[in-house]
Amino acid sequence: MRIIIAGAGEVGTHVAKMMCNANHDVILIDDNEERLRQIDAHFDLMTIVGSVSSIEDLKQANVSSCDLFIAVPPYEELSIMSAILAKKLGAKVTIARINNYEYLLPENKEFFKQLGVDELIYPEQLAAKEIRTSLKRVGIRQQIDFSDGKLILYGVKIRDNAPIVNKTLAEVAEMHDQKLYNTVAINREGYTIIPRGNETFRHNDLAYFITTPEGAKQVMEDSGKEQFDVKNVMILGGSRIGKKVAQRLEGYYNVKLIEIDRDKSTRLADTLESTLVINGDGRNLELLKDEGIKKMDAFVAVTANSEVNILACQLAKKMGVRKTVAEVENMDYIDLAENIGIGTLINKKLIAASYIYRYTVKARVSHVKCLTSSEAEVLEFVASEGSKITKGRLSELKLPKDVNVGGVIRSGQAIIVTGNTQIIPNDKVVVFAMPSGIRKIEKMFS
């Protein structure tokens, strides 16, 4: 697939790398030659120095023959303009990044389509949504819902206190009469393992389970996580994500938002309804104590600075906050932050990238999600009529080694798969795949 990415910012660069690794033909346009040279030297893609809104430059990138045009320049106006031009010049599908919620409203979708922008992405909005989901259940590193939560993927840190620790997957399966969850992957010391029955759970493993809402309780029990309801939330940083999160949470939780900039605080206080906006430095322990950090159930650090977010979360944990969420934009810190025990990590780039990724998969895919702490991806495929995956029980099919099938949604009913499960056409199948396995499994579904 030929993909043009306009704008080599954080999201653009990350998407470009990802698409390159997935063997797509990638052309990256940006007006900053320096930045492009860096990427060009390390990745197998073509770079073009030019303006993303120049017809001449877009033509030079051969936009008429591209299958997917992704506009992620720094400004929303530029992004929409660029996508419109690309569409008119012959790009098949265009995606533009925006940061205005209005544009996403369903009634405006058709309007943008007519203009030539097929899809809009709003990374901050997606990030806020993810934070909200993560607060619903504590003790969880990452949670992804499929088909309105009928199937759920949980990423859980296994500690010494978990009943399943030092047991193999097969032994764990024998603990219960009914199979309520599937272990699809284990992330150990930075490497992702697709586990088989003889794999043992170890202390400090980040295990990924696929389960149904009914099975969630068992997952929590087996991994030794105590449940409690979140009531009080403190948000650090009134960034776009911070604001979005506050808006989404304020009806359900008691929300306090700390912002260092006075003008920004005033504006936030104006837009947010019941959130208490506090002007001050969130790194100041006295201030945090004054604002009752000890009574908080959750602490969400979403300032523009990844280091501050990680440290503030550490501080909050020390003060007894049980759930911490940190926005970490620096990819190299993710592993580190994961290891020092920050509850949930949010990365805008990964979120946007996984959203875009869906458009590059040929088989019918209804959902794609990249995991924050692992290079793997979780995809929800729709099994096509006559596709290879429907040709027998899972244990009889030769599934790629780097892929694990977790669950199936068949006419609204969630099923946790076993080797005996047979997939029938139109099933929605949740698959956990390493990057090397995506192409292989994709073929089985189309």
Partner 1 sequence: MLNVRVVLLVMGLLLVVEGVFMLLSALVAAGYGEYDMPYFLQSALICIATGGVLWLANHKAPKSIGKREGYVIVTMVWLVFSFFGLLPFYLSKAIPSFTDAFFETMSGFTTTGSSILNDIEALPHGILFWRSIIQWLGGMGIIVLSLAILPVLGVGGMQLFMAEVPGPVPDKLHPRIADTAKRLWGIYVVYTAVETILLWGGGMTLFDAVCHSFTTMATGGYSTKQASVAFYDSAFIQYVIIVFMFVAGANFTLSYSAFMGRFKRIYKDEEFKYYLGFVLLVSALVAVVLYVSGDVDTVERAIRDSLFQVVSLITTTGYATADYLVWFPTLSIVMFMLMFVGGSAGSTGGGIKVMRIVILLKNAYFELKRLIHPNAVIPVRFNSKAVSSQVVTNVLAFIVIYMLIVGVSMIIMSVMGYNLDTSIGAVATCIGNIGPGLGEVGPAVNFAHVPDFGKWFLSFLMLIGRLEIFTVVLLFSPYFWKN
Among 9, 35, 40, 375, binds partner 1 (CB under 8 A): 40
Q: Does 105 bind partner 1 (CB under 8 A)?
A: no
Residue type, 397: L
Distance between CA 36 and CA 187 in Å, rounded?
33
Q: Does residue 1 bind partner 1 (CB under 8 A)?
A: no
Number of chain residues interacting with partner 1 (CB under 8 A): 12
Nearest approach in angstroms of CB 82 to partner 1 is 18
Quick check: 84 binds partner 1 (CB under 8 A)? Answer: no
Residue with smaller CB distance to partner 1, 1 or 104: 1
Task: Candidates 31, 46, 204, 330: give the one binding partner 1 (CB under 8 A).
Answer: 46
Q: Do 300 and 245 form a contact (C-beta atoms < 8 A)?
A: yes
130 and 346 in contact (C-beta within 8 Å)? Answer: yes
Q: How far is the CB of 25 from partner 1 (least distance, A)?
A: 4
Tokens read off for 387: 């596709």
Smallest separation (angstroms) from partner 1 to the CB of 61? 10
Q: Which residue in the set 35, 43, 200, 224 belongs to the binding site for partner 1 (CB under 8 A)?
A: 43
**Nearer to partner 1 among residue 61 and residue 310 (C-beta):** 61
Tokens 């596709």, residue?
A: 387
Least separation in angstroms between CB 187 and partner 1: 21
Q: Check residue 444 for interaction with partner 1 (CB under 8 A).
A: no
CB of 313 to partner 1, least distance (A): 33
- As a dihedral over the C-alpha atoms of residue 71, residue 74, residue 79, residue 85, rounded to 10 degrees, the angle is -80
Stretch touching partner 1 by CB under 8 A, among 36-44, 205-213, 363-371, 414-422: 36-44
How many CA atoms does the CB half-sphere of 242 hold within 13 Å? Answer: 28
Q: From the CB of 28, what's the least distance to partner 1, in Å? A: 9
Of the candidates 329, 234, 340, 364, the one whose C-alpha atom is nearest the C-alpha of residue 288 is 234
Closest separation between CB of residue 26 and partner 1, Å? Answer: 5
Q: Is 322 exposed, middle or buried (0-12, 13-18, 19+ CB in 10 A)?
A: middle
What is the Cα–Cα distance from 25 to 112, expressed in whole angstroms? Answer: 27
Q: By CB under 8 A, is residue 440 in contact with partner 1?
A: no
Nearer to partner 1, 43 or 75 (CB): 43
CA dist 82 and 24 (Å) reads 21
User: Which of 66, 120 has the CB closer to partner 1?
Assistant: 66
Q: Does 45 bind partner 1 (CB under 8 A)?
A: yes
Nearer to partner 1, 26 or 236 (CB): 26
- Nearer Cβ to partner 1 (40/199): 40
Of 40 and 76, which CB lies nearer to partner 1 in the complex structure? 40
In 31-135, the DSSP E strands lie at 46-49, 68-71, 93-97, 119-121
Strands (E), 116-238: 119-121, 142-146, 151-157, 181-188, 191-193, 206-211, 232-236
Alpha-carbon distance 166 to 175, whole Å?
14
| Terminal C-alpha separation, the chain | 16
* Binding piece for partner 1, criterion CB under 8 A, among 39-47, 258-266, 308-316, 417-425: 39-47
Position 27 contacts partner 1 (CB under 8 A): yes
User: What DSSP element (H or E) covers 147?
Assistant: none
If one asks whether residue 44 binds partner 1 (CB under 8 A), the answer comes out as yes
The residue ranges that bind partner 1 (CB under 8 A) are: 2, 25-27, 33, 40-46
